[in-house]
Each structure stands twice: as structure tokens, then as C-alpha cells.
A and B are shown apart, each in its own frame.
Chain A
Amino acid sequence: MLRYLLNRDKRFKKKDLKGGFAALFLFKPAATILLNKLSRQYQDLMDDQKLVRDCLKGKLQAQRELYERYSEKMLGVCYRYTRSMRDAEDVLQEGFVKVFHHLGQYKQEGELGAWIRRIMVNTALNFLKRHRKYQEEMFFTEEYLHPVTNDDPIVRIQAKELADLIRQLPQGYQVIFNLHAVEGYTHVEIGEMLGISDGTSRSQYARARNLLITWIEKHSSTNKQERYAGK
């Protein structure tokens, strides 16, 4: 009886093991991918929270890590609003000082990256308002609304190239284009931020968009020819 029981247990174990291995063998890739993805997201979230906590404690290493994690992306944001890399870095510096100074206000409900991005955008706007060389170009005159063309080009240019084209827009156009097309602000919100009417924002955006499309078309046509020639 005892032997039976022991053997039964062994059989049981073998079966279980086989089934388990089979299951693992079948579902392992999918499960691994899913788990990895989830754990990465969770890990990022936890990392951000831990990083924020450490920064609030005044740990310089944590501040450096936070900076390293977001500085490249944020410089991309600052780069779109300014005319030179130097100015972009100035905005980045000022923005990060504000981030660290007001990190206590971040309530860890939303993404840290989005919170930092908002700070960068607003710092960039303040920077533009402060500097005369930008201010002179920030003319927001009321103009008639340009109809938006439907012949949108397929944006096939690289991010950096597109950013450079955006930076070549007149300052007022550049700001409004960035705020509306990239950041997603409505014209009413842009009007409030810049102290202009939403109509002005709309018209400026339309002009900026048309101008940019023309430039992209020119740029992409030369690239297309090169690419198609290559293909």
C-alpha cells in the first residue's frame, strides 16, 4: 500500500513535470515577451518614482541620473523652440534647475517625462519672451485665416531635418507651430499662453504650416529622387 502510494506520487510528479515543461515550451516566448514588456513599464515607473524620491532627498547621483535619462529628449524639445544649440542648452539648463527645484510638486500621478516636458516648453517660452532677439521676431499680427491645403506631403524626412526646418520658420510661426502641431495645445490655449487671440494663433499656424509643407516638399523631392534613383 505504501509502495503504491509512493509510486503514485512519483508518476504524478513525472506527469506534472512533463506537462509543465510542455506548457513552458509552448508559451514561453509569448509569456516572456509579455512579461518583459510589463515588467519594463513597471520598472520604468518604479525607477522614476524611486529617482524622484532620491532627488528630493538631495542625492546628487539621483539628480544626475534623472538628468541623463531625460536630457536628450528634452534638448530635442528645447531645440525646436530656439535658433541655436547654445540657446537650446540654456533653456535646458534653466528647465532642469526648475525641475529639481519644484520636484516636490510632482505628484507621481502622471508620467515624469510629460511633467518635465511641460516645464521645458514653458521655460522655452519664457526664454523667448525675455530675449529681445526673439521678441522682435515674435510678431503676432491679426491676419486673415489661410485655408489649410489638403495636399499634405508624406513626411519622409528625418526627425532632425524636420526640426531644422521648423527652426527656420519665423519665430512667431515657429512657436505656434510647435505648440499646436507638436505639443498639441489648442489655439485657445495658445492664445492664453502668448497673450494673443485664438484667431491670430490659427492664422499664424496656417501660414507656418503652409510654409513648412513647401519646404518639406522641396526637401523630400530631392531626397525622393535620390532614394528612387538608389532603388
Chain B
Amino acid sequence: MRENEFERNVQEQMEELRIRPSDETWERVEKELREKKKRRAVVLFFIMAGLLLLGYSGYTFLTNSSNQPVAQNEIKKSSTLTTQPSVNTSTTTTNIPVTTNNNSAVAETPGTTPNTNQPDQNRNANPSLKQETVKGNPISPEQANQEKNRHLPVIVNPGKLERVAIVKENAADRKQIKNAGIVQKENNPVISNSDETAIVNKPLDQTVKSPVQQPVEKKDDIISNGIASTTISNNKEQMAADSAIVIDSTVAKTDVNKTAAPATEEPKPAIAKNMNKSKIKFGVEVSGGFISSQDKVFGFNGTNEAKSLMDFQSSYGGVNTPGTGTNAPRITPPSPVKGGNFWKIGLVAEKPITKRSSLSAGLRYTYADESLQVGAITNTVVYSNSYSFAPNFFTASGVRNAFSSSTAAQSAASRTPVKYTNRYNFIEIPMLFQTQLNKGKKMGVLWNAGIAPGFLIGTNALVYDTASRGVYYKNDNAFTKFHFNMQTGFALQFGNNKKIQWSLGPTLSLDMSRLMKEDVFTDKRYFLYTGFTGRVFLNSRKK
């Protein structure tokens, strides 16, 4: 009893103990409270921004996919053509069809001074130069049909043309080219459009002879068709995650506290909790979904694929020379690129930093693809208008364009465009901050945000070029190697108390880096990944 008396006396004395804190203490408390409010506001802002981003991207993605056919129709409409007798002024080509766009409301004046190929040479030499006037001649209905499918390129030659090989052209070929009127310079090779026409006319004649047998993917046939006159080589090269109020549950048991004790807010032992917090979890992350490209980083409106044909041609040349009746070669615009799928797989390590938030980092592989339609493979040696080397060329739908005669166009129309898939392979290092939004222990609602620097390890993607009236070719160096992604998402987490913990939810990732180093003939493109991410973690011990 006496022992208890001492303790009771001490307790009573201590209950009376009151010390007035300095005014500074409250000021410091107030300051910290304000800072926490700010932090909370920032977190809330990011959550809201993430939600909006996710919602908006989902909306735009759905809208874009439903609008795509409409955009194509618009192009078709804009390229509706009227027929008018064509005039031939070229020495090597005859009956080149001339185009007039109804929308442009510009009528061609036949019979004016014939324009030579000089301006086109200039255009090819300096693609940035734009032609001010856009005029064209009406063409025949067959060509009109072709124009409708103009943005659907046709394949050509999967083989790789190497520049070295170009130099090794045999004399006979050279002669042939010269005869066709090609002006080719060794140091700065530029081919005039008319000359190109001449070059391509050759195979055209062959194609005309056997229009039905145009096996789009069989290069042997193409070679046998005589296109090989300028063929150099056909190398088959395939490209590929405290201070927890340590309000210990061991309730302070002063007399007063005993009456106040029952609260469920009583905390659990701090020591045990801290041990759990410091554990690093390892797991696997898998995600997949749709990829789309946009012309602005935060555009979310896709690329401006519905650019009018005439606008394009007026920018890069290739429209008919006004009032001359001259049939200057037209440039086929790039084919619209249709977003494809992506999937990512990788290892991830997660370290809890507070009760409900964690940091994670990992390493993952990302595959993404998109598709476009190209024309037939051409074996023509064409020099890029933007890059100093163009080892492999795929003509855009303009293969037909390249051919000047109407009969050729007819035969080209029978060709079916080939779907080409651009494949991209990345290695990424995702670093994410993750926080649980709810207080639930069984199922957590998580929000995460972070960055994912990446490296493009390989791609077989095609690059568009206005050379030879529109070609596609492979060029790894044209693509940005280092990419910087911003990522956010939500997830539902299950199995917190079980050995296997997993989470699944929507993710949105935005590539802040341009896809191509230099977008000369096409709009800038940035990848937008929309999909789902799943994570599986192995808890080292059961609670």
C-alpha cells in the first residue's frame, strides 16, 4: 500500500505540473500546419489532374478512333477530281494527268506557257521551299479513283538499298538513267521530278503490260518487271515503390486516461510497425493497352492526319504548274498512322516511405506498334530530301502518282495497299510515387505518378520522305533514342495481408520526347499510352 501511496502522490503532484510554453512554440506549430496544408493541396491537385488526364485521354481516344474514317472521307472528298484533257509537254513522259481540287476552286488554264522541270528540281533540292500558287488540271475518272486511295500507299521493295551499292551501279544502268534524262550528281544527288518520272515510267510500262500480276509483296516479280533497271541490291534485312503516431495501443493509464481509454484510435506498437515499413518488396509489373500519337505533348487530340492533299502538295511541291498544262509530278502525302497496341513487362522494387505511401523503381521492356499503309516496293534509287542517306525506300501511295500515264494509273489502282507495322522496342526505368487514397486495409485504392526514362533499343519504323513523290524508308537514326515518359494511374490493391499482393488499374503514360529527331515532312509525334497495369508482389511474411 505504501508503495502505491508514493506513486499516487507523485501522480497527483505531476498532474498539477503546468508550464507555459513560449510564444514561439505556437508559431512553429502554426507554420508546420500551413506547410502540411500546402502539401495536401499539391497532392490533391495531382490526384485531380491525374483523374482529368485519364478521363480526357480516354474520351479523346474513343473520339479519335470513331473519327478516323471521317477524316479519311474528308481527304477523299477534297481530292475529288474533275476530268479534263491532259496536256503533255514532257519529252520523256506523255499524257501525264493533271489534277484540280474542287475545294481549292482553282481552275487550270490549259495552254499556257509550259513549265519545265526546273522548279521541281529546286523543290527537291530544298524541300522547305513552298510553292505559292496551287493549281492543277482536271483529270480522268480513273485517276479520280486513284486519288481517292492516294493516302493508301502501296508496297514496294522490302530489300535494303545501300548507298554504297548505288555507287556501284553498272554502266549499263547509268546509261539507261542518263537516257531517261536523269540529272544525278554524285556529291549532292538531286533528281528532278521529271527525270524521276522518267525513271519510274520505265517500270510503269512494264506494269502496264502485266497489271494483274502485281504481287505487291513479291519483290522477285517486281524485279522481273524490269524495275531492276536501277535496282542496286535487295538485301533482306529485318528490323525488331513514422512517425505513425506512435499512439501506442498501450494506453497511458493515468486515472484520467483510464476513463478515456476505449478509443479505437489507440495505436499499435510503434516498433513492430516501423519494421514492416522498411521492408522492400519485389514484384513483377505487366501492362498493356493502346498507343496513340499526338502532335503536341499535351495535345491529346491526335495528329492532324486530315491535312488536305493540296495543302501538302503546295507545301512540298508536286502540284501541277499553274496555267501551263504542265504535269509536274505530284507528291503523295504520308499515310495516316493508326495507333496500335503496347505492352510492358518488368521487375519492380517498392519501398514504403509512410503508412500509406511508397516509392518504387524498376526496369521494364516496352513494346509498341502502330500501322500505316504503304505502296509497292520500288527498286528505284531515290535520294532523300531530308536525310543524307536513305537505304531503303518504300513508295507511298504515290507509286501510281509516279507513273504518269493514265493506263499506268489504272493498273496501279488494282494494287492493294500493304499494311505495314512500325514496331518500337524500349527499355525503361520507371520511378513512381504511390499513395493509398482510402483507409481500408483489405482493399486499397492507390494513385501513382512518376517518371520513366527510356531508351529506344530498336525499331523497324518507316520514315516518310517527299523524294520520288513520296517514299517510305527505314532509318533508325531518324528516331529519338532517349525518351522521357510521365506516368500516372490508379489501382485497386488486394491481398495486403496475404502472401501475394496484387494490384490492377488504369494507367496513362505520356512520352515527352518527340518520336523523330527531325519531323521534316510530317507533324511532330508524341506517344500516349493508355491501358491497364497489373503488379504482383510477394510479401516476405504473413502478418
Interface residues of A (CB under 8 A from B): 58, 60, 63-64, 67, 71-73, 75-76, 79-80, 85, 88-89, 92-93, 96-98, 100-102, 105-107, 109-111, 113-115, 117-119, 121-123, 125-126, 148, 150, 152-155, 157-160, 162-163, 180-186, 189, 192-193, 195, 209, 213
Contacts and interface: CB of A to CB of B under 8 A. Distances in A.
A219 B2 CA distance: 20
A78 B24 CA distance: 16
Interface in B6-55: 6-7, 9-11, 13-14, 16-22, 24-26, 28-30, 32-33, 36-37
15 contacts: A63-B33, A72-B20, A73-B17, A97-B36, A100-B29, A110-B263, A111-B259, A115-B263, A152-B5, A153-B6, A158-B13, A181-B10, A183-B252, A183-B254, A193-B250
A117 to B, nearest CB: 6
Given A58-B37, A102-B247, 16 more contacts: A63-B30, A64-B26, A79-B19, A93-B29, A93-B32, A97-B29, A110-B259, A113-B256, A117-B256, A118-B266, A122-B246, A123-B245, A152-B2, A152-B5, A159-B17, A162-B14
A106 B265 contact: yes
Contacts of B85: none
A115 B264 CA distance: 11
A105 B245 CA distance: 11
Contacts of A110: 257, 259-263
B25 A71 contact: yes
Residue of B16, B19, B247, B251 ringed by the most chain A CB atoms within 10 A: B19
B243 interface: yes
B270 interface: yes
A154 B36 CA distance: 48
B269 A192 contact: yes
Contact of A162 (B7, B10, B21, B252): B10
A163 B6 contact: no
Interface string B200-227: 0000000000000000000000000000
Nearest to A86: B22
A93 B261 CA distance: 24
A111 B256 contact: yes
B10 A150 contact: no
B33 to A, nearest CB: 6
A122 B244 CA distance: 10
B248 interface: yes
B322 to A, nearest CB: 71
Nearest to A179: B252
A109 B263 contact: yes
A96 B36 CA distance: 13
Nearest to A114: B260
Nearest to B271: A195
A12 B250 CA distance: 63
B237 interface: no
A204 B71 CA distance: 83
A67 B29 contact: yes
Contacts of A122: 245-248, 267, 270
A185 B252 contact: yes
Given A113-B256, A114-B257, A117-B257, A155 B245 contact: no
Contacts of A105: 245, 265
Given A106-B265, A152-B6, A182 B247 contact: no
A72 B248 CA distance: 23
Contacts of A209: 6
Nearest to A180: B7
B186 interface: no
A35 B257 CA distance: 25
A20 B314 CA distance: 107
A158 B258 CA distance: 25
Nearest to A158: B13
* Nearest 10 Cβ contacts at the A-B interface: A110-B260, A184-B253, A114-B260, A76-B17, A122-B246, A105-B265, A72-B18, A189-B250, A155-B9, A111-B260
A193 B247 CA distance: 10
A110 B13 CA distance: 23
B351 to A, nearest CB: 20
B257 A181 contact: no
Contacts of B26: 64, 67, 71
A76 B19 contact: yes
Nearest to B22: A89
B15 to A, nearest CB: 8
A206 B271 CA distance: 25
Nearest to B254: A184
A58 B17 CA distance: 30
B132 interface: no
B4 to A, nearest CB: 10
A181 B7 contact: yes
Contacts of A118: 247-248, 251-252, 257, 266
A159 B14 contact: yes
B211 to A, nearest CB: 78
A213 B6 contact: yes
Contacts of B251: 118
Given A183-B252, A184-B254, A97 B14 contact: no
A180 B262 CA distance: 20
A79 B21 CA distance: 10
A126 B270 contact: yes
Contacts of A158: 13
A149 to B, nearest CB: 9
A112 to B, nearest CB: 8
A100 B36 CA distance: 11
A153 B254 CA distance: 22
A107 B26 CA distance: 25
A182 B254 contact: yes
Contacts of A182: 10-11, 14, 254
A73 B2 CA distance: 27
Contacts of B256: 111, 113-114, 117
